[in-house]
């Protein structure tokens, strides 16, 4: 699906004018794909593999996406690591970090490498903000790409730049989180000194009412990311008003966190604290 433009021209398959035409699209310098092929991050990784040296390896969110955990959008740079001294042509669309790569830290993926799950996880954490690192780690743990004890042991042993922040992210990880925004909400609340319980079941006299993203059971305050839904279940509180009424009748207050609120974490934390204060 992806090909080097120079090789296609040399082989007489396309002309330089056709490379600029409407039937192909450019992914990277000299890397193209048919216009009919859907642009995905996986496709971008395949394209990057055509121009990267064999010593390079795809890692971080790109490697997680290739391994089935959708962390990188199509338009985001392909995350790559390569040993010092490896000649890599820098260009838009590839995020390169120079670092040593152990023989056990990657497997072959075509002509280049693909970071092993533990190495991939390390690169999910290094140089990332705490909420983003925890959110991506939660997703990898939830999908079973890596076991938490192995990640804990790895960050305890390493001394990479940024490893102290990575260790803090591992401390806050929780595979029960069902979405990355939910993880970010939880991290901001915990950093502010609060202790929400993830994936908490609210019940009334008739049994279970709803499983909420985060809860403070003592105060009966639930926190839901407003974009949340759960496959195969109809009781998401931002969509099922009857169930929301029943939750409120059971003396619970629900705080819905929107995407705008999450972009202003101080405001979000103040909103949750205000709800807790009302129920104190």
Residues 105 and 199 in one domain: no
Assigned domain for 203 exists: yes
CB-count exposure of residue 90 (10 Å: 0-12, 13-18, 19+): exposed
Residues 50 and 146 in one domain: yes
Domain that holds residue 228: 180-279
Band the pLDDT of 231: cuts 50, 70, 90. very low
Assigned domain for 25 exists: no
Domain count, the chain: 2
The secondary structure of 187-244 as a DSSP string is HHHHHTT--PEEEEEEEETTEEEEEEEEEETTTTEEEEETT---TT----TTT-HHHH
Residue 229 pLDDT:
52
Assigned domain for 139 exists: yes
Residues 264 and 226 in one domain: yes
Assigned domain for 98 exists: yes
Residues 154 and 244 in one domain: no
pLDDT at 269 over 70: yes
Residues 55 and 167 in one domain: yes
Residue 109 pLDDT:
95
Assigned domain for 145 exists: yes
CATH of the domain at 259: 3.40.960.10
Mean pLDDT of the chain: 92
Residue 213 pLDDT:
92
Assigned domain for 16 exists: no
Assigned domain for 227 exists: yes
Residues 6+ apart with CB under 8 A from 187: 130, 131, 134, 135, 172
Band the pLDDT of 232: cuts 50, 70, 90. very low
pLDDT at 230 over 60: no
Band the pLDDT of 205: cuts 50, 70, 90. confident
Average pLDDT over residues 9-28: 92
Residues 252 and 164 in one domain: no
Residues 6+ apart with CB under 8 A from 124: 60, 61, 64, 71, 133, 136, 137, 140
Residue 86 pLDDT:
84
- Residue-wise pLDDT for 23-51, tens only, equals 999 999 999 999 999 999 999 999 999 99
Among 146, 172, 198, the domain-final residue is: 172
- Range in 86-90, 125-129, 182-186, 236-240 the model is least confident about: 236-240
């Amino acid at each position: 699906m992806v090909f080097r433009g120079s090789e296609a021209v040399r082989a007489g398959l396309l002309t330089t004018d056709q490379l600029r035409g409407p039937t192909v699209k450019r992914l990277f310098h000299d890397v193209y794909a048919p216009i009919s092929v859907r642009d995905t991050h996986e496709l971008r990784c395949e394209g990057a593999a055509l121009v990267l040296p064999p010593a390079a390896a795809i890692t971080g969110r790109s490697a997680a996406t290739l391994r089935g955990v959708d962390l990188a959008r199509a338009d985001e740079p392909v995350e790559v690591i390569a040993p010092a001294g490896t000649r890599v042509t820098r260009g838009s669309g590839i995020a390169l970090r120079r670092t040593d790569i152990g023989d056990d830290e990657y497997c072959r993926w075509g002509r280049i490498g693909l970071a092993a799950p533990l190495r991939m996880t390390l690169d999910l954490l290094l140089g990332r903000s705490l909420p983003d690192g925890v959110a991506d780690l939660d997703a990898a743990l939830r999908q079973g790409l890596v076991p938490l004890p192995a990640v804990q042991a790895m960050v305890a042993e390493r001394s990479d730049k940024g490893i102290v922040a990575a260790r803090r992210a591992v401390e806050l990880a929780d595979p029960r989180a069902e979405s990355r925004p939910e993880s970010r909400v939880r991290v901001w609340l915990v950093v502010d000194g609060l202790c929400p319980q993830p994936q908490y079941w609210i019940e009334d006299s008739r049994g279970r009412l709803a499983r909420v993203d985060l809860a403070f059971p003592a105060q009966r305050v639930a926190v839901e990311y407003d974009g949340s839904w759960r496959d195969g279940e109809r009781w998401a509180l931002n969509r099922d008003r009857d169930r929301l009424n029943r939750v409120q009748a059971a003396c619970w207050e629900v705080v819905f966190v929107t995407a705008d609120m999450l972009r202003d974490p101080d405001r979000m934390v103040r909103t949750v604290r205000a709800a807790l204060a009302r129920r104190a």
